[in-house]
Amino acid sequence: MKKKQVLIIIGAIFLAVLIWRIILLVTKDSGKGSNRFTRPPVAVEVDSVRYGSIQEVETFTGTVTPIYQYILAPKVAGRVIQINKRIGDWVKKGEVVARIDDSEYQQAVREAEANLKIAQASLREATSQFALTRQDLERVQSLQEKGIASSAELDAAETNFNAQKSRLELANAQVEQREASLKSANIRLSYTVLVVTEPGFIGERYIDEGSLLAPNAPVVSVIGIDTVIVQTTVIERVYGRIRIGQSAEVGVDAYPDRKFYGKVARIAPMLQEASRVAKMEVEVTNDSLLLKPGMFTKVKVVLAQKDTAQVVSSRAVVSRTGGSGIFIVPDSVAVARYIPVQLGIVTPEKTEIISPQISGLVVTLGQHLLEDGSPVILPKSEQRPAESKTKK
C-alpha cells in the first residue's frame, strides 16, 4: 500500500512539472507574438522621389602645362651683344630676341666669297682652254681625213683635248665647293641672330648681355598659352570609362570663383605598372590667359549623364545580403516597406533608381533600425492628416 502511494505521489509531481513547463512555453510564445505586434515605432527622416538630370563626375588633380614650349639657343659660340626681351614679354613669329657678336662669322663669309671668285676665274680660264683644244682637235681631224696630218698629230690633239676637259670638270667642281662653303658661312652667320619660330611669351631668361655662350646654350624659353594642357592621371577603376572628347571642368586655387572648360584630348594607351595609373591630357582654351603653366588644378570629368532619371537621396540606399534597396513609407500608412532596387548613376548626393517605379516617401535616416513592416514616426511636416487627428 505504501509503495502504491509513493508511486502516485511521484506521478503527481511529474505531471505538475510537465504542466508547468507547458504553461511556461505557451507564455513565452505569447509574449513574443505580443512584442512582434507591439514593436515601438522608429522616428525617421524622409524625402520624396524626384525626376531630373543626374551626372556622375570623377575628380582628378593635375598641373597646367603650355600647349608648346621651346628654348632659343645659338648653334654657334660667341658673346651676347644684345637681348631684346625679358620674362613675360610677348614675342611674335620671326621677331629677333638676341644677337651674338658676328665679327668672325662675317670674316668667314668674306673669305668664302673671295675663294668663290678665284674658283670662278679658274673656271673661266679652263673653259677658254677647253674651247681652244676642241678647235685644235677638230682641225687636226679635218687635216688627217685629207691625208695632210699624221696619226701622231691626231693622238696629241686628242690627248690635249681630254686633259683640258678634265681641267674644266675640276674647275666646275671647285666652283661648286666654294659656293657650298659660302652658303655654310652664311648659315653660320645667321645663327648669330636668335629668331622666334612660334609666337608666345618669354617664360625664362637664362643669360644677360655680355655672356659668352657655347653652342646650344639656352638663352630664353618661349611658351604658348592661348591653349593649355592640363596633365593628370587616371586610376584603373575609371580608366575604361574615359573617352576622348568628354567634357571637363577645371578649377585652380588662384581663381576659386572661376571655372574653365575643356575636353579630354589624349589618354595614354597603357597604365604605369608601379602606380597603376594612366596619363591623361585635358585641352583647355585659355582666351583670358589666366591659366598659367605650373598651376595646380582640380579636373572634373563627366563619366555618365542622363537628362531625365528617377533619383533619390544617396542616403536612402541601403545594402542588404540580396543587393541594394530602400525603405519607403506608402501614402496610406506610416509603415516602412523594404524594396529591392536596381541602381544606375550614383553620386555622393543622389542616386538613380532604374527600377522599380517608386511612389511615396523614401526613408533617408534611421534605416538601420527598420525591417520590412516596421512602424515609423514621420517628421511633423510629413505626417498624414489621419495621423494628426489620431494624435489629437
Counts for the chain of helices (H) and strands (E), in that order: 5, 21
pLDDT, position 249: 94
Topology of domain 223-304 in CATH is Elongation Factor Tu (Ef-tu); domain 3 (2.40.30)
Helix (H, G, I), strand (E, B) or coil at 305: strand
Q: Which residues pair with 311 in a beta bridge?
A: 50, 352
Are both 42-54+308-391 and 223-304 of the same fold? no
Residue 110 is predicted with a pLDDT of: 95
The correct answer on CATH 2.40.420.20 for the domain covering 42-54+308-391 is yes
Residue 390 has what pLDDT?
39
In this prediction, the residues of the chain whose per-residue pLDDT falls under 50 are: 30-37, 384-392
In the chain, what are the domain boundaries? 42-54+308-391, 77-101+192-218, 103-190, 223-304
d(CA 189, CA 182): 10
Residues 30-76 pLDDT 10s = 444 444 445 688 888 888 888 989 988 899 999 999 999 999 999 99
Q: Which residue has the cell 663669309?
A: 109
CB 101 within 8 A of CB 192: yes
The secondary structure of 182-232 as a DSSP string is: HHHHHHHHHTTEEE-SS-EEEEEE---TT-EE-TT---EEEEEEEEEEEEE
pLDDT at 228 (0 to 100): 97
Q: Which CATH code, of 3.40.190.10, 3.40.50.1980, 2.40.50.100, 2.30.110.10, is assigned to 77-101+192-218? A: 2.40.50.100
**How many C-beta neighbours within 10 Å does residue 299 have?**
22
* Helical (H) or strand (E) element with 234: strand 220-235
332-368: b or e for each residue (b if 16 or more CB lie within 10 Å)? eebbbbbeebebbbeeeebbbbeeeebebbbbbebbe
pLDDT reported for residue 43:
86
Query: DSSP letters of 140-162?
Result: HHHHHHTT-S-HHHHHHHHHHHH
Residue 137 CB-half CA count within 13 A: 17
If DSSP states are collapsed to H, E and C, what string results for 62-85? EEEEEEEEEEECCCCCEEEEEECC
Residue 158 burial (C-beta neighbours within 10 Å; 0-12, 13-18, 19+): middle
86: its cell numbers? 625679358
Asked if residues 314 and 330 have their Cβ atoms less than 8 Å apart, the reply is no
Does the global pTM surpass 0.85?
no
Query: Tens digits of per-residue pLDDT, 129-162?
Result: 888 888 888 887 887 777 777 778 777 888 888 8
Q: What is the pLDDT of residue 55?
A: 86
103-145 helix and 151-190 helix, angle to the nearest 10 degrees: 160
Q: Residues 6 or more apart from 289 whose CB is under 8 A from it?
A: 225, 226
Cβ neighbours of residue 128 closer than 8 Å, sequence gap 6 or more? none
Pairing, β 45-48 against β 212-213:
unpaired
